[in-house]
Amino acid sequence: MEISLTILALLGSVFSGAILVAVLEHANKQKIIKMLLAFSGGFLLSIAFIHFLPELYHHTFHNIGLYILLGFLIQLLLEFFSGGIEHGHIHHHHEGKIPWGILIALGIHSFLEGIPLAAPFTGYELATTHHHETGNTLLMGIIFHQIPVSIALMTLLVASKIKKSTIWLLMVVFAITTPLGLITGLLSESLVASLNFDIILAIVVGMFLHISTTIIFETSENHKFNFIKLISILVGFVVAVFVH
């Protein structure tokens, strides 16, 4: 996939979620968010286990797991500031105030995700490209997760009662963070000497593992079995298998 199409897909994933909130202003968006998150959680967990982890361990250095663990811990830290919006938690803040902590945490997360997307365009052979189209798989994982996250973020911003122009400006800023990560990766040769995309990918995979397991294993409301959530997760599993 060309760089321009990749960037358009990333931007589209965020704006589609934001527009959906604007169109369905009075609908129960929480159910939509949970269903989409369950699907993305199933997809992310599947591509991590059947695609990224085996290839990273097979084709990189023996302690690559430390970077996967680091990614898991980074995401754990980021969620102290984001309030868990990555897996559908929407905590309303004071009206008229911008939730900077959430925006910065989401921005860091999205920026890191974008960096390894640049590897195929720089000629760098990721450990996971030996048998698969890693760039496309990673891109799909990011897109599938960005849509429900953007819905949650847009819902939160609307509930914060800040100006609509400010809301859309903040969504634009959020939308460009992953493309900025990609561009940083493209410029890595001049910005960072010998940037190791495999290490960054391992960190991103660790972040995926934290997000996906949290989504999947979070207790349903009133501890009731949620059939729709289960089906959404299973669909995510199946799609990931076919992508693999």
pLDDT value of position 114? 93
Residue with tokens 């990673």: 138
pLDDT block averages, 10 residues each, the chain of length 244: 89 93 72 86 92 86 91 93 74 74 93 90 64 71 91 87 92 96 82 69 94 79 70 92 77
In terms of residue numbers, what domain contains 221? 3-21+29-243
Closest Cα partner for 218 from 200, 208, 230? 230
DSSP code of residue 118? G
pLDDT number for residue 27: 62
Helix, strand, coil shares, percent, the chain, to 5: 80, 0, 20
Amino acid identity of 74?
I
pLDDT value, residue 25: 66
Which residue's structure tokens are 């361990």? Answer: 57
Question: Looking at residue 193, what is its pLDDT?
Answer: 45
Please give the tally of structural domains in the chain.
1
Q: How far is CA 153 from the centre of its chain?
A: 13
- pTM for this structure? 0.86
At 71 the pLDDT is 96
